[in-house]
Amino acid sequence: MQQNKELCRVEHISVSVPYVGKYYPAVHDLSFRMNVGDSVGLIGESGSGKSLTAQAIAGLLPEQVQRSSGHIYFDGIDLTQLTEEELRAYRGFDITMVFQDSATSLNPLLTIGYQMREVLLLHCREIQGKAAQEQHLIASLEEVGLDRPREVLQKYPHQLSGGQRQRVMLAMVMLPKPRLLLADEPTTALDLTTQQQILTLIRNLQQKHELTLLMISHNIQVVRSLCERTMVLYAGQIVESGPTNEVLTHPMHPYTLALLDSKPSFQRKGQTLEMVEGMVPPLDQRQVPCNFAPRCPFRTEVCDREIHEFHRGEHSVLCNYPRSGKAVSV
C-alpha cells in the first residue's frame, strides 16, 4: 500500500503531571507523524508516558493532567485549538481509543449490549432496525472470538473474564470502522490464538478501511507482526524510532538493547533474567540531556553535557554512542 497522505502529526507535545503540588513533564517534546494506513508501535518502560501520549492525542487526558505545549494536527486541523464541543465531532469515528484498564473502562451498571448499541446509534446510522443492529453487534463480537455473543450482549461487565472484557472493548471501538485507532495494551489478557485473531482483524481493517493504528504494547511479538514502524519511549522521550524490523532486530539505543535482552524463555529456565539495572529517574529528578545516563553502561562525561541524534536511513536514535546495531534474537 503506497499512500503518503498525512493523517495525524504530533508536534512537540509535552504533558505535565502533578506530583506533590508541582507539575513535572511526564512526556517531553514528542513529535511524530502518521500517514493514512500507517501502523506505528509504541514500546517502552512502564511509566514512560505511553498512555499519556495516546490520551493526549485523543484529547482525553485525566482531569489534573495538562498538555503544556505542542500541537496535534489531524487532517491538517490543529486539535489543540478546538473546544471540547468541537473535539467531540472527531471522537468515536475519526479518532478512537482502547484504554489500558478494560475492567474499569466499562460502565458497571449497563449491559454490554447497551454500551455497544450506543456506539452503533451514534456512528452507524445506516444500520436501521433493532434486528439488524442486533445482528451487527453479534457479528462484531464473533469477530473478536467471543463465544455465545448473544449472551454476552445481555451480560454486565463483571460477569465477563478479563480477556472477554478486553475483547468487548475492542469490538466496541471498532464498530464504526474508525480512521485512527489508539490501542493501549489491547491484548494483555488474551491467549495467543485469540491474539492472532485480533491481529488479523486489525490487519483486515487496515487493508479494507485504511485504518491508521498507534499500538502501545509490551508484547514485542504483537508489535513486530502488526507495526511497520516502532518508537521506543524512555522517561517521556522518544529515544529510538524507525522501521520495526530495524529497531527490534538491530537496536541502537542501549535501553532498547537491554529491554529486548530481558525476555524469559524455557531454554533459560530458572536462570536470572537480564534486566536494566537501576530505575527510571523519578519525575522530579529527570535530567537533561539524557535521562538514561544514570543507568547507561556506556555513559561518559559528554552525556552529561549534550546529546546527539544519530540517523541511519529511517532509523534514528537519541544517543551519543549508538550501538552498532548488533542482531538481537527475539
Partner 1 sequence: MTLFLVSLLIFFVFQIIPGDPVLSRLGQEADPALEALLREELGLDQPPMRRYINWVVALSRGDLGTSIRFRMPVQELIGQRLPNTLALAIWSFMLILVISIPLGIWLAKHSRGPAGLLINGMTQLGIAIPSFWMAILLMLVFGVKLGWLPIHGYVPWRENPLGFIRSMILPGLAVSFSSIAIVVRYLRASLLDQMLQDYVRTARNKGLTENVILYRHVLRNAFLPVLTILGVILVNILTGSIVIESTFSIPGLGQLLQTAIRNRDLPLVQGITLYVSVVVTFGFLFVDLLSAKIDPRIRDKEEES
Partner 2 sequence: MMTTQPPLIRLQDVLKTYAAPKTSLFDSPQRFIAVNHLDFEMQKGEVLGLIGESGCGKTTTARIIARLLKPDSGKIFLNGTDILPLDDYDFRPFRRQIQMIFQDPQQVLNPSLTIEQILMEPLIGFHILRNDKERREFIRLELPDVGLDNTYLPRYPHQLSGGQRQRVAILSALLVKPALLIADEVVSALDLSIQAQILNLLQTLREKHQLSMLFISHDLHVVSWLADRILVMYRGSLVEEATTEELLRNPIHPYTQSLLAAADLFEGNLPTEGIGWGVASDLCCPYAELCPQSTELCRSQRPPVQVLANGHRVACHCRQKGV
Residues at the contact surface with partner 2, assessed by CB under 8 A? 17-20, 43-47, 50-51, 62, 100-104, 145, 147-148, 150-151, 154-155, 159-164, 167, 184-185, 188-197, 218, 220, 258-260, 262-266, 268-270, 272-276, 279, 282-284
Q: What whole-number distance in Å separates Cα of residue 112 and Cα of residue 70?
A: 37
For residues 31 and 70, what is the distance between their CA atoms, to the nearest angstrom?
Answer: 9
Task: Decide: is 278 part of the binding site for ligand ATP (CB under 6 A).
Answer: no
Least CB distance to ligand ATP at residue 9 (A) = 20
CB of 266 to partner 2, least distance (A): 4
Question: From the CB of 260, what's the least distance to ligand ATP, in Å?
Answer: 16
Task: Write out the three cell numbers for 286.
Answer: 529527570
> Is 159 an interacting residue with respect to ligand ATP (CB under 6 A)?
yes
Q: How far, in Å, CA of 49 to CA of 236, rounded?
A: 5
What amino acid is encoded at 311 in this protein? H
Contact (Cβ atoms closer than 8 angstroms) between residue 10 and residue 72: yes
Strand order, beta sheet including 315-318? 95-98, 180-184, 212-216, 39-44, 229-234, 237-243, 315-318, 309-312
Q: How far apart are CA 221 and CA 215, in angstroms?
A: 12
Q: Which of 69, 105, 133, 249 binds partner 1 (CB under 8 A)?
A: 105
The binder of 122, among ligand ATP, partner 1, partner 2, none, by C-beta within 5 to 8 A per type, is: partner 1
- Residue 316: CB partners within 8 Å, gap ≥ 6? 240, 241, 242, 309, 310
Query: Could you say whether residue 51 binds ligand ATP (CB under 6 A)?
Result: yes
21 binding partner 1? (CB under 8 A): no
Contact set for partner 1, span 108-137 (CB under 8 A): 108-110, 118-119, 122-123
Asked if 154 interacts with partner 1 (CB under 8 A), we say no
- Which residues would be at the binding site for partner 1 (CB under 8 A)? 58, 60, 62-63, 84, 88-93, 96-97, 99, 101, 104-110, 118-119, 122-123, 156, 158-159, 169, 173
